[in-house]
Amino acid sequence: MKVQRRSNSELITLRRELGGGGEGKVYAVAENPSWVAKVYHRPTAEMARKLAVMYANPPEDPLRSQGHVSIAWPEDLLIERGRVVGFLMPRADGSFPLHTFYNPTSRRDRCPLFNYLYLHRTARNLAAAVSNLHVRGYVIGDVNESNILVSRTALVTLVDTDSFQVCDRSRNELYRCPVGKPDFTPPELQGKTLRHVRRLPEHDRFGLAVLIFQLLMEGTHPFSGVFSGSGDPPPIEARIAKGHFPYGMRPVPYRPMLVAPPFEILAPELRRLFVRCFEDGHDNPKLRPDAPTWSKALEVAEGRLVECSVNSQHRYGSHLSECPWCARTQQLRGRDPFPRTVAEAGRLRQQPMPKPKKRAKSLKDRVLSPTPALAYTVRFPQPMSVARVRGVGWGQVLAEFWADLAKYKYDLLAGGAIVALAIAGSIYVVNRENASPSVETSVVTTIDRSNSDLQTSSSDDTSALQAPVERFYSHRARINAVAVSPDGTRFASSSEDGSIAIWNGSTQMPLQSRRLSSVLQLPEDRIRSMAFGADGQTLIIATARELQVWDADTLTFRESMPLSLTPMAMTVSIDRSVRVVGSSAWETVVWDVFQNLELQRWENLDRSVLAMSGDGRSIGVGGDEIEIWNVETGQKHQTLPAKVQKDMAVALSPNGQLLALSVPEDDGDIQLWDVKTGQLLHAETASHISVLAFSRDGKTLISGDLYGSIGIWRVGK
């Protein structure tokens, strides 16, 4: 694919696709590996004017001359057939999403010696980059952890800049930022239609404070906490709207989470700034600290960090009488947030680290990490003026969200269209420490090795697919997920109309049903997949941002936990670890949720994940054909000559030996493929299928369709 640069009419070649979202795709540039190109799906004249303003008025990036990009700003506009279709921007290599560093497990895996000093330096550099944008008159708007990349030396790069709010003063035209994540949205904007809101710097200041809090508090969100009120705990956005900051001075119905570090770990001035932002700034946004204020306070706090006498990687504020990280290591049963060496960090993946003991420092026992780089220092002008930022040091993640929510009419005559899925596994949420590893408690997509016919039988025994033996109707829109209980007596279904139902497996009426639109922020938080807990009493829902735990009997919300990737499928492996496969930083990642452990990462797997097997060992991805990849080895196992189509539903059997797919046409069908041989075994007529899932023993296939109906199919002769 070739496009033309507007500045000099030069033709450039777009090679490998690096990522993409609802707006467009990002490509590598053949002529210059330091560039990437974003090309829009539907270019508009308004976006062309906005990019032209940005191109003509770049913010200051003093480290650019030293080889580091602090703000991935448009460097040229791209033309195709006489119109602007995208732009060139610098490529941020060797960097990771911000959450990689504030999450202790991913930090140990990707950069083990990135200690608390580095986290302070990252926060300083982030504040300085935001200050540079505000000085130039730009507002980020969609402040979140996915739009910020961090290097191993604590340098920061802001990406997704074309979503920033831009003001064209020459034409008195404002190009608004239409999106935002609720977790980083200030209280005065919660619940508002952001595409109609004029963003202000004080709005960015709220999101900046949230990110700094997460960096210094091991990923803890400032408004997360244990709910002490009655009824269901409100979601984070509701807590933000009410100003319920559990670390502040005002009484709120929350207390800090037990797994969070103590608030006192922060320098006193930083604590005051957080209270000023989240409490004083709740009613008066102008009281929120600006970026230069944060930068100065972080500089002072960083200068007062001292080294622990037990572990030289432990840095803590001089206002504390003892090392909090040693105490936290004991609290986390030996999983040190800041291990002494790279080798020690590697051992933590396999077993807990023993309690730290005081010992003499040995240079050969340490692996030195790169020196944290200071991107900026802040030069403070006269009071009441805007602080400017200049560089003195050295030196992509496109936040995707599902913006398409198709509305379909309910049609009882569409009985032939049946599909549904749940890449469901049992999630051991309650009493998981008391469970015996030898007990098989998994659900629908997990292999029961003692009873699974698919495990021992030949392909011929499972080559048939019988017409639906049961059909269920309740939803009035597309079915997007299904989960089956461990004992197989009931299943749950969810729809894009915002409803969820629990079904008795042999009746035509749901036992429970409830609309979730008051809890989920559809379509951005549409349900991606569901699973019953091991005891059958809880239901786990994966959305674009988090896992939610619901009571399966009453369908009441219990709690939630954030996800560091955009989930595409969820399952439970044989050892009952919860595995989610999704996208993060243009890469495909398999993550163990409760161990908070990355199991596999494909940096160059430019495919869409379609399904994961119940044992968590295989994923099916779609390119031109369907490919089966092994999670343990990271290698491609098989290619099925099945044409990948838009809106295709795919499911892998619990042991990964069978693959079911739907052909999404009016006269479509459901196909069964043998993964080992790559052969098509059987096809059965079925139309408008939206999701598919195998049962625990692999003998049943559950389907849901575009019109809200569910079908149960029998697999095998």
Report whether 652 contacts 674 (CB < 8 A).
no
- How far is residue 703's CA from residue 690's CA, in Å, rounded to a whole number? 8
Q: To 10 degrees, what angle do helices 268-275 and 201-216 make?
A: 140
Which residues make beta-bridge pairs with 567? 582
Single out the catalytic residue among 61, 76, 142, 705. Answer: 142
- Cβ(175)–Cβ(50) below 8 Å: yes
Tokens for 533, please give them.
Answer: 């807990």
The C-alpha atoms of residue 103 and residue 533 are separated, in whole angstroms, by: 25
Residue-wise DSSP of 53-107? HHHHSPPP-TTGGGT--SB----EEEEETTEEEEEEEE--TTEEETHHHHSHHHH
| 3-class secondary-structure state, position 590 | strand
Identify whether 142 is a catalytic site residue: yes
* SS3 (DSSP) at 327: helix
Structure tokens at 217: 């508090």
d(CA 419, CA 430): 31
Alpha-carbon separation of residue 284 from 202, 424, 674 (angstroms): 10, 45, 62
Q: Which of 480, 536, 505, 510 is CA-nearest to residue 689?
A: 480
Q: How large is the C-alpha radius of gyration of the chain?
A: 26
> Do 446 and 690 meet the contact criterion of CB atoms below 8 Å apart?
no
**What count of Cα atoms within 13 Å lies in the side-chain half-sphere of residue 318?**
7
> Active-site residues: which are they?
142
